[in-house]
Structure 1
């Protein structure tokens, strides 16, 4: 027993350090302790890499925290004026690149979610991946993005439609991220700056929105306000395609303002856009559509619900068929395992029985033909 324990200790004990006798480098001695740095080059390199990574992570995480805190601080007065329950100082985070804020308590607006999705400045590996992938895919352009998602009360917008103003450099990818915007068609509009496009289901939606709140155009015509503007959308559809029709009582309407996050020194640059959104939302109840547009929208939503229902039923049918196939396969496997345990004579009888059954089936099919 003791010898076995000693053998285990010998196996897990590291080998002794061999100090060369002819060592001529710098060393530090204290009594029986000797420190020779030249013998620890590999350890020094690894320690340096570790320290660099930790410092990189710390400063990267600090950059993201500083950006979000400065933006919230620069817009605190706006949110405090507009909401009875703003949670400006309550910024939640998911990791070190995603931050969230929630406000509520305002006419026409059920809630506001402020969502920061920043680049992973704290993660060197992800940054290198983004850099090299950007060399491969010229359309790949990661950004520090910010969304203000306004969930509306039902009476704030009496009509169903999808509409957006989008910066042209976002047109290539925005439909990949927003299923609801696939309902629209991008067009030029002379009332907007050349760098912006309109995405709308129907032409008169744009005209009605401009009439209801013309001040929005003045804000978007200022080049200073477009530096960080990405899109402004109104939608009665979810951003991701639902698996089945959404019940009427669970349907939501949103106004979504998408921005690029400005640097901390310019955090207040997006304040005019944020300020202008609130009167714009208040004006949506005044939007009036032509009767033919209302009918087209109603039919489009009915066709969508029908298609979603058919797709859901088809998917359910495919799942049930797959389950039946899996059950048959499991049954065949269990039968094969049972037969494999029988004697050779019994196995031969079963094979002969299966052969005769196959012959009878083939003869029956021949007679039917």
Structure 2
């Protein structure tokens, strides 16, 4: 028994020795590994100091400007559009005010009220900025009234789309390639004067027999755009074109009679139009509508004196523009005193208007006839469809065959007539 315990203790001792030998062989030395690389044990993480977090408002630490390139380009484009709009609007306003300021001395001299508000004039000086009203960023209007032989004067200034560079560029490009659109890309001024003879509805029935003159159409037109104006204006299409000895070659006279032209072209007007240059588009005296009439009521005479200008360039002296506007306004006085023609001349003018009335009546009658025929055809079709619905299948077949036979006979008759 004692021998057994001795053997057991010896085997255990040998096993322990063998385990120690295995441990010496399999377990690496801890000291060199610790010296070669740092320890990443959980204890080392727990004992290290964390990096400080950036505050919530420190956006620059989390983002950079390079992330917002597309937004930057959009904001830049918007800024350019807004700046161009503001500049263009102010520029157009300055141009319109500048033109009115040029002719303001003439308007204040010729009219008792210049502008839309009724206020007494203490002097002939008028604040141009107060008498111009903007309908849009490119359309401006002014108004004057209070004068013998004139009910009112409307001035419309239509400018380029400087407040919209894209549209401005497109209009300019189209105007370069198409002659009909060339004038729409320019700055223009239209002055319309209504004579005060009581025949116009806008005069509220007031009559001044001394302001009356005969009905006619007469104009001085720039030859460069004469074709366009003849096509766009119905009243000018009723006239004949001729050259005038005392006028420059770039102007033509369009009228219904030479005697009318001799009367309208008085000396002051004749002299100033020679100095105007190409910015004068036309000066028109008319009692007929601008647009082609579609109703007989539109042929009722409404007298207008119209001055159409391309905005004068800075090279034109302000005195030239003032003299032209003054001659245009005083044309109403000249017509009231002198535009009373011989019966032979008036018969020719009257014949033209009667011919236009007949043409319009015929066009209205043809249009009415077509409408009546269309309504009659629709009514016949409704009756035929109702009749077919009330028939049996055999009766419908017989009815349709009879219809086709009738159509065939009618076609044969038409062919025989043509032969």
**Alignment equivalent of 2:308, drawn from 233, 253, 258:** 258
- After TM superposition, the structure 1 = structure 2 runs for residues 255-294 of structure 1, keeping only pairs within 5 Å, are 255-262=305-312, 268=318, 270-285=321-336, 286-294=338-346
- Structure having the higher Rg: 2
- After TM superposition, the structure 1 = structure 2 runs for residues 53-68 of structure 1, keeping only pairs within 5 Å, are 53-68=81-96
Closer, same or farther: CA 80–325 of 1 in aligned 2, 3 Å: farther
Q: Is the 8 A contact 1:167 1:196 kept in 2?
A: yes
Per the TM alignment, residue 233 of structure 1 is displaced from its structure 2 partner at its CA by 0.7
TM-score, L = length of structure 2: 0.69
Per the TM alignment, residue 134 of structure 1 is displaced from its structure 2 partner at its CA by 2.9
In the other structure, the counterpart of 2:271 is: 218
Q: Is the 8 A contact 2:174 2:182 kept in 1?
A: no
| C-alpha distance in 1 between matches for 2:407 and 2:64 | 90
| C-alpha distance in 2 between matches for 1:85 and 1:133 | 40
Closer, same or farther: CA 351–265 of 1 in aligned 2, 3 Å: farther
| Structure 2 stretches lacking a partner, 5+ long | 1-55, 117-129, 198-208, 414-419
| C-alpha distance in 2 between matches for 1:326 and 1:140 | 44
Per the TM alignment, residue 35 of structure 1 is displaced from its structure 2 partner at its CA by 4.2
TM-score, L = length of structure 1: 0.77
What number of residue pairs does the alignment pair up? 326
SS of the counterpart of 2:227? coil
In the other structure, the counterpart of 2:66 is: 38
In the other structure, the counterpart of 1:190 is: 245
| Structure 1 stretches lacking a partner, 5+ long | 1-28, 340-345
* CA offsets 1:23-67 (integer angstroms, 9 cap, x no match): xxxxxx952554411111111111111111111111111121111
Per the TM alignment, residue 321 of structure 1 is displaced from its structure 2 partner at its CA by 4.3
Q: Is the 8 A contact 2:175 2:181 kept in 1?
A: yes
Q: Is the 8 A contact 1:67 1:264 kept in 2?
A: no
By relative contact order (CA 8 Å, sep 6+), the higher-ranking structure is 1
Per the TM alignment, residue 113 of structure 1 is displaced from its structure 2 partner at its CA by 1.0
Closer, same or farther: CA 328–362 of 1 in aligned 2, 3 Å: closer
Is 1:136 the equivalent of 2:138? no
Q: Is the 8 A contact 2:218 2:286 kept in 1?
A: yes
- After TM superposition, the structure 1 = structure 2 runs for residues 206-355 of structure 1, keeping only pairs within 5 Å, are 206-210=261-265, 213-222=266-275, 225-226=276-277, 228-246=279-297, 251-262=301-312, 268=318, 270-285=321-336, 286-322=338-374, 351-355=393-397
| C-alpha distance in 2 between matches for 1:352 and 1:327 | 25
Closer, same or farther: CA 51–320 of 1 in aligned 2, 3 Å: farther
SS of the counterpart of 1:246? helix
| C-alpha distance in 1 between matches for 2:407 and 2:281 | 66
| C-alpha distance in 1 between matches for 2:91 and 2:373 | 52
Q: Is the 8 A contact 2:222 2:252 kept in 1?
A: yes
SS of the counterpart of 1:311? helix
Per the TM alignment, residue 320 of structure 1 is displaced from its structure 2 partner at its CA by 4.6
Per the TM alignment, residue 187 of structure 1 is displaced from its structure 2 partner at its CA by 1.4
RMSD over aligned CA atoms reads 3.3
| C-alpha distance in 2 between matches for 1:124 and 1:366 | 65
In the other structure, the counterpart of 2:9 is: none
In the other structure, the counterpart of 1:117 is: 158
Per the TM alignment, residue 124 of structure 1 is displaced from its structure 2 partner at its CA by 2.3
| C-alpha distance in 2 between matches for 1:68 and 1:364 | 72
Per the TM alignment, residue 278 of structure 1 is displaced from its structure 2 partner at its CA by 2.4
